[in-house]
Amino acid sequence: MREGIPTCISHLASFIFEVFMDDFLARFNEQEQQRHQKTIRLRERGVNPYPLRATRTHTARQTIDAFTRGENLSGVKLVGRLVALRDMGKLSFAHIQDGSAKIQLMFRKDAVGADNYAMLLKDFDLGDFIGAEGDVVRTKTGEITLQVARFELLAKTLSPLPEKWHGLKDTETRYRQRYLDLLSNEQAREIFAKRSKIVTAMRKYLDERGFVEVETPVLQPLYGGGAAEPFVTHHNKLDRDMYLRIADELYLKRLLVGGIERVYEISKDFRNEGIDFKHNPEFTMMECYQAYGDYTTMMTLVEELYAACALAANGTLQITYQGHAIDLTPPWPRATMRDLILKMSGVDIYADADLPSLERRVEELNLKIERQRTWGKTVDELFSAFVEPTLIQPTFVMDYPEEISPFAKKKPDTLRARVVERFEAFSLNMELGNAFTELNDPLDQYARFMEQAELRNAGDKEAHPIDLDFVEALMHGMPPTGGLGVGVDRMVMLLTDQSSIREVILFPQLRT
C-alpha cells in the first residue's frame, strides 16, 4: 500500500508529461511531423537517433588536403551535417559539412547493403548529422569523395533547414536564429571567423609589448569613464542600485596607480542609448594604458594595432570598405581639430575660444549646426558637420575641447582655448580609436568632475558623475600615461566590410 503512492505519482507524472508532449508535437509543421515519424521508425529498428559519441579520423579539410598531397586514404571516418543528397537509384551522392569544409560522400547500394541504403533514403534527412567510413577516391568528374562502406546517424534533425541555394535571407531570422545564418550562409561564418582572428591578433600585439590583460568590474556602484547613459540594475541583498559599466577607464587607471605599467582589457561595455546600424547596447571595447607614454605613443600603437589586425584578418593593409579603398599602412596623417575645422568651415576655434564668440562667428559665416550648451560641444558639432564626413583615409584628429574630455591633460599654448591632448582616428565617419594623454593631476581631475556636475545639474544626462574614489586614487600618484580605447565591433566592421554592427555581433539586440 505504501508503495502504491509513489507509483501513483509517477503514473501521474508520466501522464502529465504525455499531455504536454502531445501538445508540443501537435504544433509541429508537416515536415517536422514526418521527421519525427522517421525518428520513431529508426528507434523501432534499433537505431539510436541521438547516440552518445562519434568518432572521426579526419576532418573534411584534412581529408581533401591529404588526398591532394597524394596520400592513400582508406578507413577514413568522417562526421558532419548532411547538406545535400542526390539519389541516382542504386547509387547516391551526398555532401556533408563539418567545421572545416564540405566533402562529397558516395553511397553504393551494393557496398553499404540494401537495408542500410533504404534507411539512408527513407529515414535520413538533410540537416542530420552522420558519420561515414570508407576509402577516399576521385569520382569521374574529379571530385574528392569518400566511398562509403559504413555509415551511421549521429544526430537527427527535426526541423528542415533553410534552402541550399538561396540560403537564409530574412534578416530578422538571421539575427534571432543565428545558428541558421551560420549553417546556411558561408559569409556569416567568415565574418565571425575573422572576428576571432582580429581579437586574437589584438591580444597578441598587446601581449608582445608587455601589456597585462586584466578584468575589472562590469557591475559597478558608480559608472564612469565616458559620456553615456548607463543601465541601472539592483542588488537585492545590499538593497542598492548598481550600474553596468559604460567604460573601463577609471578602474584601469587605478591599476596604473598600483604600479602596473602596461595594462589592457577587452570586454563588454553597456550604454543605454539608441540602437542603430553602428550602435548595439552592449559592445566590445579594448582599452589600454601605457605608463610613461602620451597620446602620440598611442597614435603609433593604434595604427600598428590596426595593421596587425588587418593582416590577421585579410592578409593585407589595403582594404575596401563599402566601395571605398582604404589604406591602413602606418603612419596615418595627423592634423589638429583646429586646423581641420578652420580649413573646412573657416572658423578658428582658438580665436573664438568661448561660447558667445564662437556662436557669433558661426552665425556670421551662416553655418548650419545645432545649438549646443558649451563651447566644447559646439566645436564638436562643427567638427561632426564639416570635417568628419571628409575624412576618408584613416586620419588622426588631435587636440579636443577640454569640456568634452574630462580625463585628458591640458595642452599648453592654445591661446585662450581650453584644449586637451586627445585624439580620435577617423575613417569614413567611423571612429577607429580614441586616446588621451591621461590626466593625473588629482586636483585638476576634481575640478573636471565639478564642471561635469554643473552640466549634469543643467540637465545633461550624459555628463560624468563625480567619482571621489578615483580622485583619491590619483592623489596617491599616477605616472604620466597614454591611454587608448578601440571599439572592437567597429574595427571588425571595417575589416570585414560590413555596414551594420549587427553583422559582426552574433546575437545583436533586437526588439524583444
Partner RNA sequence: GGGGCGGUAGCUCAAUUGGCAGAGCAACAGCCUUUUAAGCUGUGGGUUCAGGGUUCGAUUCCCUGCCGCCUCACCA
Q: How far is residue 223's CA from residue 206's CA, in Å, rounded to a whole number?
A: 26
What one-character DSSP code corresponds to residue 432?
E
Count Cβ atoms below 10 Å from residue 97 Cβ, excluding itself.
16
Is residue 227 involved in binding RNA (CB under 7 A)? yes
Q: How far is residue 307's CA from residue 414's CA, in Å, rounded to a whole number?
A: 32
User: Segment 179-218, which members bind RNA (CB under 7 A)?
Assistant: none
Is residue 458 involved in binding RNA (CB under 7 A)? no
Q: How far is residue 455's CA from residue 457's CA, in Å, rounded to a whole number?
A: 5
Torsions phi, psi of 95, nearest 5? -120, 140
Distance in Å, CB of 70 to RNA, minimum: 19
> Of 312 and 400, which has the nearer Cβ to RNA?
400
**C-alpha dist (Å) from residue 401 to 305, 335, 469:** 26, 15, 25
> Of 151 and 312, which has the nearer Cβ to RNA?
151
Is residue 108 involved in binding RNA (CB under 7 A)? yes
User: Segment 6-35, which members bind RNA (CB under 7 A)?
Assistant: 29-31, 34
Distance in Å, CB of 5 to RNA, minimum: 40
User: Segment 471-500, which members bind RNA (CB under 7 A)?
Assistant: 485, 487, 499-500
The region of 150-158, 211-219, 269-277, 329-337 touching RNA under the rule CB under 7 A is 269-277
Per-residue x/- marks for RNA, 49-88, CB under 7 A?
-----------------------------------xxxxx
Contacting residue, 49, 131, 226, 482, with RNA by CB under 7 A:
226
DSSP states of 339-400 as a string? HHHHHHH---TTTS-SHHHHHHHHHHTT------SSHHHHHHHHIIIIIGGG--S-EEEEEE
> Of 105 and 358, which has the nearer Cβ to RNA?
105
Is residue 89 involved in binding RNA (CB under 7 A)? yes
Q: How far is residue 262's CA from residue 484's CA, in Å, rounded to a whole number?
A: 12
Q: How far is residue 271's CA from residue 226's CA, in Å, rounded to a whole number?
A: 10
Contacting residue, 173, 196, 233, 316, with RNA by CB under 7 A:
173
Which residues on adjacent β-strands are paired with residue 124?
A: none
Q: How far is residue 255's CA from residue 266's CA, in Å, rounded to a whole number?
A: 15
Distance in Å, CB of 117 to RNA, minimum: 10
User: Segment 306-365, which members bind RNA (CB under 7 A)?
Assistant: none
> Of 124 and 312, which has the nearer Cβ to RNA?
124
Is residue 367 involved in binding RNA (CB under 7 A)? no
Instruction: Tell me the residue type at 435.
Output: A
Distance of CA 449 to the CA centre of its chain: 32
User: Segment 390-409, which members bind RNA (CB under 7 A)?
Assistant: 400, 404-405
Distance in Å, CB of 86 to RNA, minimum: 4
**C-alpha dist (Å) from residue 101 to 59, 79, 81, 97, 310:** 8, 11, 11, 6, 24
Count Cβ atoms below 10 Å from residue 85 Cβ, excluding itself.
18
Is residue 274 involved in binding RNA (CB under 7 A)? yes
Contacting residue, 261, 359, 462, 497, with RNA by CB under 7 A:
462
Per-residue x/- marks for RNA, 133-172, CB under 7 A?
------xxxxx-x-------------xx-xxxxxxxxxxx
Residues 6+ apart with CB under 8 A from 343: none
Distance in Å, CB of 407 to RNA, minimum: 10
Handedness of CA 390, 393, 396, 402 (dihedral sign): positive
How many residues touch RNA under the rule CB under 7 A: the total is 69
* Half-sphere exposure at residue 232, Cβ-oriented, CA atoms within 13 angstroms: 3
> Which grid cell is 447?
575640478
Q: How far apart are the first and last CA of the chain?
A: 52
Distance in Å, CB of 183 to RNA, minimum: 12
Binding region for RNA (CB under 7 A): 29-31, 34, 38, 84-91, 93, 104, 106, 108-110, 122, 125-126, 139-143, 145, 159-160, 162-173, 175, 226-228, 271, 273-274, 276-277, 279, 370, 400, 404-405, 422, 424, 431, 434, 462, 485, 487, 499-500, 502, 510-512
